[in-house]
Amino acid sequence: MNFLHNVVWLLILIGVMILVHELGHFWAARLFDVKVEVFSFGFGPRLFGFRRGETDYRFSAILFGGYVKMAGEQPGDEGVEDPRAFLAKARWQRLVIAAAGPFMNIVLAVGLLTGLFMVKYEKVVDPETHAVVGHVLADSPAAKAGIRDGDRIVAIDGNQNPTWEDIRLKEIAGAGTQLGVLVEREGKTFHTTVTPVLEDKAGLGSAGWSARADVQLGALSPGMPAEKSGLKKGDLLISANGQPIHSVLRFHEIIRGSKGQPISIQVMRDGQVKTIEVHPVFTKLDGPERWMIGAGVEQRLKFAVTKLSFPNALRESVSQNARLSAVIIEFLRGIVERRISPRNLEGPIRIGQLSGEAAREGPSTFIMLMSMVSLNLAIFNLLPIPILDGGVILLLLVEMFMRRDLSLPVKEAFFKVGFVFIMVIVVFVLYNDISKILPAG
């Protein structure tokens, strides 16, 4: 049942992305009086549709994508001599048409969050925003940099007064890169450098530190010790074996260092303190074998829910999208520089799962996901890869610089390489999605 639910919400998500993206190309083409022959949801054979004016609006067999077919779009096409053909237009006009699709996805990302924040804006009010370190793993990059539990991160990589979200984003994208850190301890500050390492499992940078915050139990694995002992999702962790829990990493460290010995866990539930004994088991659920109890652990954040005026909502939306854009670009750069594992790329299967999960959590979560996917799609399409909008823009910029057209064989070779590259990416992300679903052998 969840599978069908995920598929439905994935189609809704992808449908909106396609509609907005292709409308960008369509409207820009109409603005410059380019003849649009086809506006298609999906690729491949035409399933059904209707014709209005000179344009065939259709649904095609493969729904994961879409396109706008303009007259005279490629050299050798019929109608290339038509003054309304795409290639008959000035290069700057063709560049605007190519850029209009990603631009509309950016507009959608900003618009969705603006509308959401005018209805519901959640601001974190937890002390975690003060960037206090809850725990540092032994022999981790943070430990080697001299950082200790209780230190406060005043600045990281030029970012002043960062939240833990800012710190984590720098960390995951900074594997193998020295990050300058300004640390405050007992009223005094000092500078140090932290070089996150690449985690084999997650494929992301890790410095081995975590926020000082309240920690609660997340989802429990059926049949595992946490569930059997009576722990419940949402329990607030107070201590484990008498040691206070102010960090997700600290709790994991205690579990994995138990060597199978029972652990006395003190939790707060419904205003009452309970002490529960749990016996870890040596097994694997999502990685190598280790001692575990089968419980997710997460920070418990406190939010103040309010509504923003349109100007403030727009300002916050632009700010959040700008931060996310910087993270996406840094993430892609990390993959190219082989500092971040490409296993973190998500394909249609994983996006389908996320769509279903977001829809089940509520409209605001789904809108947040749609905004994020739209921004990712815009940035991906602007990459200078042949057959993508960014590839078209790159060729046009080269021709504008040279003041002449590139030869047809050069353009054909450029787009053939791009097609092969995109197919390789498609196969990889599908394999990546499937490998995350299948149990480890």
Active site residues: 22
Buried b (16+ CB within 10 A) or exposed e, 333-358: ebbeeebbbebebbbebbbbbbbbbb
Backbone angles phi, psi at 198, to 5 degrees: -85, 120
The alpha-helical segments, DSSP class H, found in 35-129 are 91-119
Choose among 152, 162, 207, 155: nearest CA to 182: 155
Instruction: Burial-class residue 133 by CB neighbours within 10 Å (0-12, 13-18, 19+).
Output: buried
Core vs surface per residue 301-332: b (16+ CB within 10 A) or e: beeeeeebeeeebbebbeebbeebbebbebbb
- The per-residue b/e assignment along 155-194, b for 16 or more CB within 10 angstroms, e otherwise, is bbbeeeebbbebbbbbbbbbbebebebebeeeeeeeeeeb
CA distances, 390 to each of 11, 73, 259, 387, 418 (Å): 25, 16, 53, 8, 11
Residue 435 is inside which H or E element, if any?
Answer: helix 408-437
H helix or E strand, kind and range, residue 334: helix 310-336
Helix (H), strand (E) at residue 56 = strand 55-70
Quick one: tokens of 176? 């193998």
CA distance 19 to 417: 27
Residues 6+ apart with CB under 8 A from 195: 141, 174, 176, 177, 178, 179
Taking the C-alpha atoms of residue 289 and residue 310, their distance in angstroms, rounded to an integer, is 51
The span from the CA of 318 to the CA of 323, in Å, is 9
Give 321's contacts (C-beta < 8 A, 6+ positions apart). Answer: 106, 109, 110, 113, 371, 375
Q: How far is CA 107 from CA 16, 21, 395, in A?
A: 13, 10, 25
* DSSP SS3 for 210: strand
